[in-house]
Each structure stands twice: as C-alpha cells, then as structure tokens.
Amino acid sequence: MAKIRKCVICGTVYHLVDPGARALTCSDKCHEDMKDRLIKHYGLFKKVTNRKGESFRVPLDDIIEKGLREEELSKYPRWEDQPKGGT
C-alpha cells in the first residue's frame, strides 16, 4: 500500500510505494540537495563511537546512503581529538 509523503526539500506530495525507497525526498535531485544541506550544516564527517568507547571518523554521506552498523566502524579511521587550549 502506497503511503503519501511530502518532500522535505520542495514540498511536493508523492506516493512512497517501495518501503526501501528514500522516504524523505521525492526525487534524486531533492535527495542530493538534502545531502548537500546536511553536510553544509553538520560537516563532512561525524564522530561515531562504538560500545567500547572507540571513536571513528565517518563520512556523513556514508551514513545517509548506506546506513551504519557498529561492525563496520573499524573500516574507518580513528577520530583523533584535537588538544584543547593553547600550545
């Protein structure tokens, strides 16, 4: 059964037929625009921490496009915190 949705970018009303489809935007163009806006607002990388407390530098694009599972974090580089304060 198709669900009626409203695109978060352009406001177009559309029918979400495939449950695996993008649920927030009506088209590839709007999806790319949404990603660009999120990256501009939040940055290219996110600090993602696993249950052991280890942090990794994960591209926001990977989170949006692929999703993320804890087991996959090890393929990303470690997040190195910058020292706070002066020299």
Mean per-residue pLDDT for 72-76?
96
Domain contains 67:
yes
Domain contains 85:
no
Domain contains 81:
no
Domain contains 82:
no
CA 61, CA 38: separation in Å to the nearest integer?
Answer: 9
CA 54, CA 42: separation in Å to the nearest integer?
Answer: 21
Q: What is the per-residue pLDDT across 14-67, written as a single tens digit (0 to 9) for each?
A: 888 776 667 889 889 999 999 999 999 999 999 999 999 999 999 999 998 888
What range defines the domain where residue 67 resides?
A: 3-75
Model pTM above 0.85: no
**Domain total in the chain:** 1
Domain contains 14:
yes
Domain contains 80:
no
